Amino acid sequence: MQEAEIKIGGISVRDLAEQYGTPLYVYDAERIRDNFRRLSSALRGHYPEVSVYYAIKACNNLEIAKLLVEQGAGIDAASPNEIRLAQALGLSGERILYTGNSLSDDDLAAGLRAGVIFNVDDHGVLKRLFALGRPRCMSFRINPSSEDIATPDLTPFAGPSAKFGIHPRFVEEAYRTALENGVERLGVHMMPHSQASKPESFAHVTGKLLDLIGPVARKLGFQLEFLDIGGGLGIPYRRELPPLDVDAVAREVAAVVRRKCAEHGLKTPRLVMEPGRYFVGDAGYVLGRVISIKQGYRTILGTDISMNTMARPVMYGAYHEVRINGRGGQTAPMAMTGQVCENTDMWISEREFPAEVAEGDVVVLMDAGAYGHVMSYDYNGRLRPAEVLVDGGQSRLIRRRDTFEDLVSRMCLSEDIQKRLREAAGEASGQAAGG
């Protein structure tokens, strides 16, 4: 049975693959805007004061981040270079949230210079931070014990096995140090889960966080300016799962903030979120081609989507739906691999694919917008792919494909190698000119 062509923002994947080549990342601009509006209006519908940041680590192409900034997002940066990305988008100061890990003095100084909101992950860093300067506004990322937080979703970012956040034992000390150093505007942050799929997880985390910070704030006599419940909003990577009900997330979080603040004698703070995946995840696709169909111990679909093009499946066993454009009907079990010389590059070891699949077919890896291109690399000389944005029925390149010249450009090379590279480039351009 012939399946319909897969389209992204109205453009067929076959046309995109032909025009730009594969492997290729493609993003649907309207989907990104929709994702932002859905969350933002849910939060604003249930709570009076809200700030939404985009965790630019999820997809750092400035043309993608710009779509979100145009909708009103700030940027959550994880490093000085991500702060610079945010500044390139016209943002400054408190429109930038800075949530780093193991920050060096240079990293701290960069945040101070930029006047960002510091979201500090380790109270041990405060001595070095205050020796360098004083943020006007800051928060602390708290890491509750896994039993304390046990949310209905997994909690990989909290508890003893997580590298993130401040142990509850040190929370009071952290806030006291900030106050003693003259920081007057304080918030609190927690992000114990990622890819959370149940609305109640967010309310649960929020309640726990306020129970933890409430007594500390009362004892030290400060009010919370903001309450940041992180990102972590999940998307349904498996089509059979329902999408996260963000209206329920907002409603339940708003209710618990009001209740817990009243209980702890706190004024209701501004509510902050900084999702990454939720905004861009389902708006991105990787297009590749079936290059070979190898028969052996199993049938292996060899594609040009390798572990270095999309690292998530081999990096942490992430599931992505994969479709073969225009193919349907009967299926057969097959493996799918890329072109990299590693056995882990068999990133699907067995799944049902259309039996009529053929060499040259376009492969579409779904939900690739978050933690996709940002994690690509050039192992085996397989170069980082291009990125294309589809908007209003038009496509345009927003990052060119890496070239061999990119691969060698940052190597510091001896004269003989440089000479050979120049000669080879001259020959290649001569051949191209000669047709």
Ligand X SMILES: Cc1ncc(COP(=O)(O)O)c(C=O)c1O
Binding site for ligand X (CB under 6 A): 55, 58, 76, 99, 191, 194, 230-233, 274-278, 370
Residue closest to 348 by CA, chosen among 408, 282, 303? 303
Nearer CB in complex with ligand X: 75/224: 75
Report how far residue 386's alpha carbon sits from residue 383's, in angstroms, rounded to the nearest whole number: 9
**Which tokens in the block code for residue 85?**
């990305």
Query: In sequence order, which ranges of 51-104 are alpha helices (DSSP H)?
Result: 62-70, 80-88
Nearer CB in complex with ligand X: 89/191: 191
Active-site residue flag, 412? no
Residue-wise DSSP of 199-231: HHHHHHHHHHHHHHHHHHHHHHT--EEEEE---
Nearest residue relative to ligand X (C-beta): 231
Nearer CB in complex with ligand X: 222/371: 371
In the complex, least distance from residue 140 CB atom to ligand X, rounded to whole angstroms = 12
Please provide the distance, in angstroms rounded to a whole number, between the alpha carbons at the two ends of the chain. Answer: 41
**Which tokens in the block code for residue 206?**
């929020």
Q: Pick the catalytic residue: 59, 137, 341, 412?
A: 341
Q: Are 348 and 335 in contact (CB under 8 A)?
A: yes
In the complex, least distance from residue 185 CB atom to ligand X, rounded to whole angstroms = 19
| Per-residue b or e along 161-194, where b marks 16 or more CB atoms closer than 10 Å to that residue's CB | eeebbbeeebbbebbebbeebebebbbbbbbbbb
Orientation angle between helical segments 199-220 and 171-180, nearest 10 degrees: 50
Residue-wise DSSP of 392-416: TTEEEEEEPPP-HHHHHHTS---HH
In the complex, least distance from residue 154 CB atom to ligand X, rounded to whole angstroms = 12
How many residues belong to the chain?
435
Per the omega criterion (within 30 degrees of 0), is the bond before 192 cis?
no
**Residues 206, 116, 210: CA angle, nearest 5 degrees:** 15
In the complex, least distance from residue 383 CB atom to ligand X, rounded to whole angstroms = 26
Residue closest to 372 by CA, chosen among 361, 386, 352? 386
In the complex, least distance from residue 432 CB atom to ligand X, rounded to whole angstroms = 42
Q: Are 75 and 56 in contact (CB under 8 A)?
A: yes
SS3 93: helix
Nearer CB in complex with ligand X: 232/269: 232
Nearer CB in complex with ligand X: 200/402: 200
Nearer CB in complex with ligand X: 24/120: 120
In the complex, least distance from residue 2 CB atom to ligand X, rounded to whole angstroms = 37
Return all residues near 417 (Cβ < 8 A) that are at least 6 apart: none
Q: Are 381 and 411 in contact (CB under 8 A)?
A: no
In the complex, least distance from residue 119 CB atom to ligand X, rounded to whole angstroms = 7
With 0-12 / 13-18 / 19 or more C-beta atoms within 10 angstroms meaning exposed / middle / buried, residue 318 is: middle
Nearer CB in complex with ligand X: 27/278: 278
Nearer CB in complex with ligand X: 76/361: 76
In the complex, least distance from residue 405 CB atom to ligand X, rounded to whole angstroms = 33
Q: Which residues are catalytic?
A: 341
